[in-house]
Amino acid sequence: MKNFKNPLRRRDVIIDTAESLFIGKGFNNTSVDEIVNKLGVAKGTFYYYFKSKEEILDELLNRYLKNIKTIADQIVLSDELNAPDKIVLLFKQISKYSTRKKNIFEYIHKESNAQLHVKYEKKGFPMLIPSFVTMIEQGVKEGVFNTKYPEEAAFAILGLNDTLIGKKKIVKNRIRKWQEQATIFFDFLERILGAKTGTFSKTRFFFDERC
Phi, psi of 165 (to 5 degrees): -65, -45
Q: State how far the Cα of 206 lies from the Cα of 59, in Å rounded to an integer.
A: 33
- State residue 113's pLDDT score: 67
CATH of the domain spanning 57-193: 1.10.357.10
Task: Judge if pTM exceeds 0.85.
Answer: no
Residue 153: name the closest of 199, 197, 87 by CA.
87
Provide the pLDDT for residue 2.
Answer: 52
Residue-range domain boundaries for the chain: 7-49, 57-193
Distance CA 191, CA 148 (A): 13
- Give average pLDDT by consecutive 10-residue segment, the chain, 211 residues: 65 92 88 94 92 90 91 95 96 87 77 71 87 98 97 94 61 56 88 95 78 56
User: Residue 209 has what pLDDT?
Assistant: 64
Beta carbons within 10 angstroms of residue 178's beta carbon: 12
User: Distance between CA atoms of 58 and 39, rounded to whole angstroms?
Assistant: 20
Amino acid at 96: K
To the question of domain 7-49 being in CATH 1.10.10.60, the answer is: yes
* Other CB atoms within 10 A of residue 182 CB: 20
